[in-house]
Structure formats: C-alpha cells, structure tokens
Chain A
Amino acid sequence: MTDSAGAVIHTVELSKHFDAVRAVDELTVSIPKTGITSIVGPNGSGKSTFVNLLSGTLPIDGGLVIIDGVGLRVVKAHESPQHGVTRTFQEVRLFDQISAWDNIMVVLTERRLLPSLLERRRPAHREKAERILKEVGMWEKREAMAGELSYGQRKLLEIGRAMAMDAQTYLFDEPFAGLFPQMLERVKEIVVRMRDEGHTLIFISHNMDIVRELPDHLIVLDSGKLLTQGEVHDVLSREEVIEAYLGE
C-alpha cells in the first residue's frame, strides 16, 4: 500500500452515484507523486468517473480529495489547474471548429477577463505551441480544423493540449486507445519523458501490455470500489486481481 504522506493525490471515502448506481463507492486511494500510475478495471468499474471527480468535471457526492496536501470536498473544474491537475478525456474533446494550432494556443493564454481582452499573440506562447505541436507530431497539421483530424491525430493533439498546461499531475483517460503502433510509441515516449521530468502521470488503460510495461503503480477498481493498489508486478500477481479482472 502506498504511503498517503508521499501522495500527490489522496482520496478518502470518495463517492459518486448516479441514481442507484454507485459509480465510485467510498474510494480511498493514494497516488504517489513520483512515477506513473495506471488505473485499471473492467468496464463500468468507475475509472473515468474517478478521473472526472479528481478534475472537477463531475461534482463529488461524498468523501474528500486531498491534492498536494490541500483537502477538497468540492473540486471545481476551473480551479483544477490551480491544484496542478490537468487531463484528457476518454472521448476526445477538442475544440473541433478551430485549428490544431488554436487548440494549443487557447490554453496558453490569459485566464483573467480584462488582461485576456488586452492580450494579443505573444511570442512565448507561439514558441511553446510550436514546440508542443512538433513533439506530438502535429506540426504539419497545425492549420487543420481539429474536427477534420483522424482519431489518432485528435488523441495526440489532446495530449499536446494537456502538455501545454505545464501541470504537476496529468490525468490521461485511455490515451493509448485506438492508436496506430507508431502513434502509440510516440505517446509512450511522451509519458516516460514527462515522468522523468518529475511530473505525476495517471492514466486509464485497458491495454494490458502497456499496463505491464509502463506504470510504476497500479490501482485496480471493481464496481466503484478499490480492489487493490500497489507496485505493478505485485498487484498483477495477486490472486483477486487475476480472478476478478485478468481472468487468467
């Protein structure tokens, strides 16, 4: 079990229900500040709901989220960057009718109303957007509308948009799903590079090859509850995980 004192994110009896369905059921987990953490579990186990609660995309029904030592009973979406958290979505949510370039630029710019009215194109933002688009392999497509890109390109652009936030913690909801091998390798490189730079990476995945290869820590959910968590190899060898999830 991870020591909660060294955790960047710690939840205490976190709950979310939709009518009678307990999507996240009194979940108490710790996500270490260093390394990559993967969240796995069968469909409907509450993985995406858990990420939505951490990023404020869904309101919390009960329990507590502690991010970098700050306890929160309410996480507001627009405040999550202040807690050093950013994310991607399971179903890619880009700004479809603006260009790939503007999809990156928009998250780089001023958050306050009046300064944002006065802010024009800043060279530092342009340089950063260019660097990120090149890193995710989307530089050639920068003028294309996000909605016209292929699924894999959209995934990469969404990861790039999250990277532009310079957050401490990145919540990636199924970043490897539906990617061609070349794109998948690129995302893996990005994730490892960010881990090496000291960021906290948390991703949801159904791809067991990646789950065995990439993360340092694993959280296994089942029916909104914590089945187990810990070091990858340790968790994957546990009998309850094999029975409930891996089925092998």
Chain B
Amino acid sequence: MSVIPQALRERPRADIERVATVFVLGWAVAFMLWQGTGFTVTLMTVFAIWAILAVSLNLVVGFTGLLSVGHIGFFGIGAYTMAILASDASYDQLRTEAIPTPGWPFFAALPIAVALTALVAIGVGIVFNRFRDDIFVLVSFGFAIIAFSFFLNLREITRGAFGIHEIPRPAFGGWVLDGEVEFLVFALVCLGLVVLLCWLIVTSSFGRVLTAIREDEEAIAVFGYQVTHFKLAVWVLSAMMAGLAGALFASWTSFIDPNSFILLESMLLIAIVILGGLATIWGSLLGAMAFVLLEEGMRFLPFLPAEFVGQARQVVLGVLLVLLMLFRPQGLVGRYRL
C-alpha cells in the first residue's frame, strides 16, 4: 500500500471532512465566478435536483443498508406523472402519438406525482422486502429496467421515444416561475424541505432503528422491531422524494423522454451517494455538488472534443468510484462502509 492512502486513512476524520468540504465548495465558487451568473443558475438548479435524489437515496442505501439501483425508476414516475398531467394539451403533438392530457397546473399535478410514486413504491417495496444484500441489488436493478421499459413502450400514455413537451413551470396564481432564477429558488426551497425532512427522520428514534437494520436486521428484530415495516416506510418516503425531484426536473426542462431515466443515471446516483459518504446528509449534498461540477466542468476542458465529453464523464466517475472503494470506502465525509 502506498504512503498516501495510508496517510489518508490515519488522518483524523474531521480533518478529511473539512478538506473535502472546502475543496468542493471552493471549486464550486471558483467555477461559478469564472462562468458567470447564467451558468451558475443552471448549475445550481441541476445540483438541487440531483441533491434531492442523492439525499433521499442515502436514506435507503446509507442509513438502512439497502443498495438500491432502482431509484431512477421513482424519479421517472414522478417526472412522467407531472408531464402527463400538466403538459399543454394544445401543443401540436404528432397526431399518431397524441396522448390525452388534462393540462393541470403544476401544483395540482405535484401531489399526484408524489402520491403515485408512493403507491408504486409500496407495491414494489412489499415484494422487495423479502430480499437482502446481493439479491436486493439485482431486483432493484430489475425495477429500473422495468420502469424504463414502461416509459419507452407505454406509448399511449408516455408517447414513448417521442417524449412529452410543454410541461409547465410552477405558478402561484398569476405568477409563473418561468425565469431561471425564480425556478432555482423554488428548487432550492424544495431541496431545503427534503433535507429538513431527512434530518428529522435520521435524528429520530426511527432513524436509529434504520441504522440498526443496516447493521444486523435479524438482531434488531429480536428486540421487538418489525423490520419489514421500517424498511418499507423508509423505502416509500425515499421514493416520494425522488418523485418530487422527477416532477421538478420535468417542469424545469419542459421536455422529458425515456433517455433521462436509464439505468446509467441510477449508477451515477449511487456514485454520488458513495462519493459524498453513506449515512450523511451533508455528504450527499457535497457529493451532488462534486458530481455536477465534474459533469458540467468537463465541457470546458480544451483538449477534450465535445463528442467525447459524455463518455469521459462516465470514465472519470468510474475511476473515482474505484479509487474511493480502494482508499476511502466511507466517501468524502461518510462514517460507514457498504
């Protein structure tokens, strides 16, 4: 083992956390100053959506120990519910692929998007509750594939590969949040609420039981806890937050198609959670910021042709993950290991 990783391991935890935090935040500020306001607003909006996903997934992966790669499915259900219920019915859709849409306002569709995600999560969670460890990873993988197949092939509802256009922005009465800054503020408020909810969950007795389940679910059951109920509850709560992120994403981009919900996105999400650290809300925020900076920042590398940026991002993230697993499996500011 080389000297540097050993030194990394032996450094006090608080030291590494501080360095990681300063590094990521410094990187973010420098990047935003360099790129200017418009880019900053876009970057922060992407961050807010990914951060909601990462924080909510960390409840399941980090706190409860269920390595789910199916979170993107719930993100997609939230996004598609918003798109189907709220997209503009008068939009000139291709006649053969037209879908019935009630054209609801954002805030009427939002609770339905979150509730429908919860309903699907309950159904899926009841089935998944009997699985653990490697098998759980596999079945959650299956869920992500099935969800993607629905988005792609249920053309009468989702318009398949054509996607859905004209998804509206949130509106308070006559005030439509169609400006990028207004939407960013709204997204950050949503992120703030999600973080607050997650903090309340993990600092409650419920949260402590989740960590015990992660460590040894048979042992905690002996002390009177119905483990399946706790696992199902956190699974559904986490899915609802992903559904919220999906609804926000659909509204922000105003167009979605199945390519936004492929399995690779789930893998990136897992990478963010591990990068930031398991069982830490702050870690997920930091991980999401580092990911967004990496993703957007690579556009500006002068030696990298534009057509290779996407692949290069995946390679860099993959290498980062391998390095983390080798030298700092608890992530940047995490305490626990998979």
Contact = CB atoms under 8 A, between A and B. Distances in A.
A117 to B, nearest CB: 4
B61 to A, nearest CB: 14
Most buried by A among B206, B233, B336: B206
Contacts of B209: 106, 109, 116
Given A57-B218, A81-B223, A86-B222, A98 B211 contact: yes
A78 B221 contact: yes
A118 to B, nearest CB: 7
Given A107-B223, A109-B208, A111-B224, A95 B230 contact: no
Contacts of B220: 95, 106
Contacts of A87: 222
Most A C-beta atoms less than 10 A away, residue of B205, B206, B211: B205
A17 B226 CA distance: 26
B221 to A, nearest CB: 4
B245 to A, nearest CB: 21
A93 B153 CA distance: 47
B335 interface: yes
Nearest to B228: A78
Nearest to A56: B222
A104 B13 CA distance: 24
A95 B219 contact: yes
Contacts of B218: 57, 77, 93
Contact of A120 (B204, B214, B336): B204
Interface in B227-267: 227, 229-230, 233
A57 B227 CA distance: 13
A141 to B, nearest CB: 17
A89 interface: yes
Interface residues of A, number: 33
A110 interface: yes
B225 A97 contact: no
Select the residue from A78, A87, A110, A165 with max chain B CB neighbours within 10 A.
Answer: A78
- Most chain A CB within 10 A, of B219, B221, B336, B337, is at B219
Contact of A96 (B203, B215, B223): B215
Contact of B222 (A55, A102, A118): A55
Contacts of A70: none
B223 A93 contact: no
A159 B224 CA distance: 16
A113 interface: yes
B208 A106 contact: yes
B226 A78 contact: yes
A65 B206 CA distance: 32
A82 interface: yes
B201 interface: yes
B10 interface: no
A95 B214 CA distance: 8
23 contacts: A57-B222, A78-B224, A78-B227, A81-B224, A82-B224, A89-B219, A95-B211, A95-B219, A95-B220, A97-B214, A97-B337, A98-B211, A102-B208, A106-B220, A107-B223, A107-B224, A109-B205, A110-B206, A111-B225, A113-B206, A113-B229, A119-B205, A120-B204
Given A94-B216, A111-B225, 15 more contacts: A55-B222, A77-B222, A80-B222, A93-B219, A94-B215, A95-B219, A97-B215, A97-B337, A102-B211, A106-B211, A106-B212, A117-B204, A120-B204, A120-B205, A161-B223
9 nearest A-B residue pairs (beta carbon): A109-B205, A95-B215, A81-B224, A119-B205, A116-B206, A77-B221, A93-B219, A107-B223, A116-B205
